[in-house]
Amino acid sequence: MTATTLDTRPTTGGRIVVENLTHAFDDLEVLHDFTLDIAPGEFVSFVGKSGCGKSTLLNILAGLLTPTSGKVEISRAEVASKLPRRAYITQDDRLLPWRTAVQNVALPLELHGVGKRDRLARAHDLLDRVGLADFARRRPSELSGGMRQRVSIAQALVYGPAVLLMDEPFGALDAWTRESLHELLLGVQAELGTTTVLVTHDVVEALALSDRVVTLAPRPGRLLGEYVLPASPRPRTHRDLQRGEFADLHDRIRTDLGFHSEDRP
């Protein structure tokens, strides 16, 4: 088999166009007439109550689930490689326990026939970027939860996907690890230009990271509000988010989600 050539040029993020998406599991309508356009390189977060269809929407965007009706298109100007265009990170890492960190990161490249030298060089580069150069030969059981999630981020970004989809990726981590991963993710995402969609329960996390926050209403899941955040250095700090415009957006988003704004932490 001839090895696939690895295109290491910076990624052009994909545009995601979702039109009139509706999905039902048997007679339970989970998503209703959902329409959204996400620009290349944009970072969009979905927030909404448990059960409002966020994971279902992400599974559809990932191509794992076919919607009942409507369409999803992911395009990028420059489709240079045969590698998959969408990467998906969930709360539980999906690392293979018998493989080392670098072998896990290189796995998507291996599955697509990239030669050993190329794939290991690229995997080491990504591990370096996520601060795990010294842990390349460790197995997942020898790494902390935060380290494993960093390996997952490196694995997701190793082939320069046009789109990165994340479902509560930081939910199980402590506040310090979370914040360091926020910085790491934004750094790598900005550098590679990857369009990013994050599902989170945490309004503060969405406000700290995103260009735009989308709120979903439950039963059936539908788009409730869209909030474009003012451009400012990210991750935005707790202090940034307590100031004027962000505090106001925080209140509006919480009101959408059914919280009382005076209870805001």
Ligand X SMILES: Nc1ncnc2c1ncn2[C@@H]1O[C@H](COP(=O)(O)OP(=O)(O)OP(=O)(O)O)[C@@H](O)[C@H]1O
Binding to ligand X by residue 90, rule CB under 6 A? Answer: no
* Helix/strand number for the chain, H first, E second: 8, 9
Q: Name the residue with tokens 């690890």.
A: 177
Q: How far is CA 259 from the centre of its chain?
A: 25
Nearer to ligand X, 13 or 169 (CB): 169
Judge whether 9 and 179 are in contact, CB under 8 Å.
no
Residue among 30 and 61 whose Cβ is closer to ligand X: 30
Q: Which x/- pattern, by CB under 6 A, does the window 168-207 give for ligand X?
A: ----------------------------------------
Rg (CA), the chain: 19
CB 96 within 8 A of CB 88: no
Binding-residue pattern over the window 22 to 51 for ligand X, x denoting contact by CB under 6 A: ---x--x-x-----------------x-xx
Return the number of the residue (25 or 98) whose C-beta is nearest ligand X. 25
SS3 state of residue 157: helix
Number of residues interacting with ligand X: please give it, by CB under 6 A: 11
Residue type, 22: T
The least CB distance from residue 53 to ligand X, in Å, is 4
Nearer of residues 51 and 230 to ligand X, judged by Cβ:
51
Shortest spacing between CB 152 and ligand X, in angstroms: 18
For residues 54 and 122, which CB has a smaller minimum distance to ligand X in the complex? Answer: 54
Taking the C-alpha atoms of 217, 223, 224 and 225 in order, what is their torsion angle to the nearest 10 degrees? 140
Residue 217: closest CA among 244, 255, 182: 255
Instruction: Rank residues 42 and 168 by Cβ distance to ligand X and give the closer one.
Output: 168
Tell me how far apart the alpha carbons of residues 156 and 150 are, in angstroms, rounded to a whole number: 10
In whole angstroms, the minimum distance from the beta carbon of 195 to ligand X comes to 20
Alpha carbon 206 to chain centroid, angstroms: 11
Least distance in angstroms from the C-beta of 176 to ligand X: 24
Q: Shortest approach of ligand X to residue 55 CB, angstroms?
A: 3
x/- string (CB under 6 A) for ligand X, residues 44-83? ----x-xxxxxxx---------------------------
User: Containing H/E element for 66?
Assistant: none
Question: Where on the chain is the footprint of ligand X (CB under 6 A)?
Answer: 25, 28, 30, 48, 50-56
